[in-house]
Amino acid sequence: MDDGQPDITKVVNLTRRKGTGPVRVQRPVYVDSLTPCNAACPAGENIQAWLALAQSGRLKEAWERLVADNPFPSVHGRVCYHPCESNCNRRELDGAVRIHAVERFLGDRALRDGWRLSVAAQPSGKRVLIVGAGPAGLSAAYHLRRLGHEVEIHDAGPLPGGMLHFGIPAYRLPRADLIAEISRIEDLGVRLILNHKVEDVLQEQAAGGFDAVFIAIGAHLAKHVEIPARDAVKVLDAVSLLSDVATGTHPVLGRRVVIYGGGNTAMDAARTVKRLGATETLIVYRRDQVHMTATEFETDEASAEGIKIKWLRSIKAIHGDDLTVEVMKLDENGRPQPTGQVETLQADAVVLAVGQDADSGFLDKIAEIQHEPDGTVVVTPNMMTGRQGIFAGGDMVASERTVTTAVGHGKKAARHIDAWLRATVYESPPKHPIVDFGMLNLPIFSDVLPCNQRELPIDERTTGFEEVVAGFDEPQALHEAKRCFSCGNCFECDNCFAACPNDAIIKSGPGLGYRIDFGACTGCATCVDQCPCHAMEIIEEPA
């Protein structure tokens, strides 16, 4: 008999199910969250997006998505210190996705198969001058050209690439791959003028009829360190050494070489002099290993090649081939302090790798542009200097000095320059919350270990400048791409569709995700619990 009252048994059954009752009080929603790899990438790549395309075998589309943000995947797959992998959620399970190796594979495949870039934007009629053909300048040129502007790069060097060409040894970055990716930018219509040092920016701007300028000359001046010397051994700076070797000049350094410094440049210099014939290569560093600025894998590779490191030592004087070094200790803030205890080392040459400064003195003629004591230029959030229409980035501004950061600066500057040329303001879209490992609902499965890149045998490395680390083949790249969890982004795994007890999840079609039939949904949250990548959340039912 139906007396109009609710069926008590049915109500009890509903209220026993999480989040449900006679009236739905909560509902599931699909969300787009920020993957930790994307959040950590200084170049602003949408890593999850191009990995998703790669894992489905759509390699050219994956490359096109990648180069929408970064025109140098072949280069970056080799030289980037991949902070994306340090933040990858998969590292908590069985090892981070080898993102850099998949990126390199896509970059190398594009070069092998001749994939080309294109300019879709209509010509703007605006001209932009870029000073410096390093990673920041080339990146800005690339993005500005694709936005429809005419771009001209002026560089003092004989070859493009900046520190990519003159600061990174060939065993890490073969020059053919670098030049090929730069040539692809030139093919877009970017004009590159080499052996042309800009002395007067305003005169250069006026003569060329440029509507805006981007300064990106990099940090090529080696920092000076005072070391008393008498009848000293050969002393040179690491920047000059690496540049000379890159251009084919191999200085004679002798058998025993000491490198003074603890950054990545020191590691590159040490490994380079080993290849130049030094039999005893020693790095002297003022701090300990914990405070070393070089990345761990750079230090490990140097150690594997026989480079030794003397920690907590400071060079105080050089007398002939004797180096007087003082033992240091770290204070409570991690700063090295002298102990008064000294030792003596022998060396035929000393290479100073204590940092670089930007040579920004040529901008002193422009009164509106302000400088920091280290030579960097003061810029506003839109990367413009105090002079309207003149922007700066890369090593020219205060920031982390890496290739990837410089490329990110180039993209950022291009967007702001484009907006300024069009009398608008570029505003970055708001960022979604980052998904951490604890937010994932991973199924139980066997570990799928990462692929390892082949490396040149140790005994073959120091006899020349052949590339040490090999790239992935296609099966390895696909395997690695498929290890991505797609954190915070739906990849249409159908878990929600299969789990819903009320058939409330509706497929929208391949690549279009799902929608929810709220006429059938009870708010039980089963779909949310079954979503492995946290692409769904449960929210309070709207009033």
- Single-letter code of the amino acid located at 144: L
Q: Quick one: pLDDT at residue 8?
A: 30
Whether residue 237 sits in one domain with residue 351: yes
Give 446's pLDDT tier (boundaries 50, 70, 90): low
Residues 243 and 327 in one domain: yes
Residue 433 lies in a domain: no
Tell me the C-alpha distance between 200 and 1, whole Å: 95
CB atoms within 10 A of CB 129: 23
Split at pLDDT 50, 70, 90, the class of 222 is confident
Q: Give the model confidence (pLDDT) of 447-504 as tens digits.
A: 788 999 999 999 899 989 999 999 999 999 999 999 999 999 999 999 999 999 999 9
Same domain as 210, residue 238: no
Helix (H) or strand (E) holding 404: helix 403-421
- Over residues 518-523, the mean pLDDT reads 92
- For the four alpha carbons of 391, 394, 395 and 397, in that order, the dihedral sign comes to positive
Instruction: Return the pLDDT at 13.
Output: 36
Please report the pLDDT score of residue 155 as a whole number.
96
Q: Do 89 and 204 share a domain, yes or no?
A: no
- Which CATH number covers residue 179? 3.50.50.60
Instruction: Tell me: do 296 and 382 sit in the same domain.
Output: no
pLDDT recorded at residue 522: 92
Q: Residue 445's pLDDT is what?
A: 57
Confidence of residue 376 (pLDDT cuts 50, 70, 90): confident
**Predicted local confidence at residue 43, as pLDDT:** 96
Mean pLDDT computed over every residue of the chain: 91
Percentage of the chain modeled with pLDDT above 90: 78
pLDDT at 250: 85
What is the predicted pLDDT for the residue at 21? 58
Residue 165 scores a pLDDT above 80 = yes
DSSP code of residue 311: -
Q: Which residues lie across from 231 on neighbouring strands?
A: none
pLDDT given for residue 29 in this prediction: 95
User: Is residue 179 assigned to a domain?
Assistant: yes
Task: Give 257-314 pLDDT, tens digit per residue.
Answer: 999 999 999 999 999 999 999 999 999 999 999 889 999 889 999 999 999 999 999 9
What's the CA dihedral at 438, 443, 446, 450 to 10 degrees? -50
**What range does the domain containing 532 cover?**
8-32+490-540
Per-residue pLDDT reduced to its tens digit, 148-159: 999 999 999 999
* pTM confidence score: 0.90
> For residue 10, what pLDDT band results from cuts at 50, 70 and 90?
very low
**Domain limit, last residue, from 333, 355, 377:** 355
Torsion of CA 134, 135, 140, 146, to 10 degrees: 110
- The CA–CA distances, whole Å, from 438 to 432, 433, 456, 539, 543 equal 17, 14, 38, 19, 30
Q: 234-238, 373-377, 428-432: lowest mean pLDDT where? A: 373-377
Same domain, 227 and 306: yes
> Does 305 share its domain with 318?
yes
Q: Quote the number of domains for the chain.
A: 4
pLDDT band (50, 70, 90) for residue 55: very high
181 and 288 both lie in a single domain: no
Chain Cα centroid distance, residue 141: 18
Within-domain flag for 477: yes
Share of the chain above pLDDT 70, in %: 95
Same domain, 197 and 290: no
Q: Are 46 and 65 in contact (CB under 8 A)?
A: yes
Q: Is residue 434 part of a domain?
A: no
Output the pLDDT for position 17. Answer: 42
Same domain, 350 and 252: yes
445 within some domain: no
Residues 346 and 236 in one domain: yes
Residue 519 lies in a domain: yes
Residue, of 168 and 17, whose pLDDT is higher: 168
One domain for residues 383 and 504: no
C-alpha torsion angle, residues 152, 155, 158, 161 (rounded to 10): -80
In a domain, 169, yes or no: yes
Domain boundary at 403, 421, 439, which? 421
Q: Is 441 inside any structural domain?
A: no
Q: To the nearest 10°, report the CA torsion of 399, 289, 85, 33.
A: -60
Q: Take residue 346 and report the two structure tokens written for it.
A: 């022998």
How confident is residue 399, by pLDDT bands cut at 50, 70 and 90? confident
Residue 333 confidence (pLDDT) above 80 = yes
**CATH number for the domain including 510?**
3.30.70.20
Cβ partners under 8 Å of residue 265, min gap 6: 167, 238, 239, 242, 353, 355, 356
How far apart, in whole angstroms, are the C-alpha atoms of residue 127 and residue 213?
A: 9
Range of lowest pLDDT (231-235, 384-388, 488-492): 231-235
Contact assessment for residue 413 and residue 380, using Cβ atoms and an 8 Å cutoff: no
Q: What is the DSSP letter of 451?
A: P
**pLDDT for position 220:** 74
Identify any residues that bridge with 41 across adjacent strands, giving them in sequence order.
none
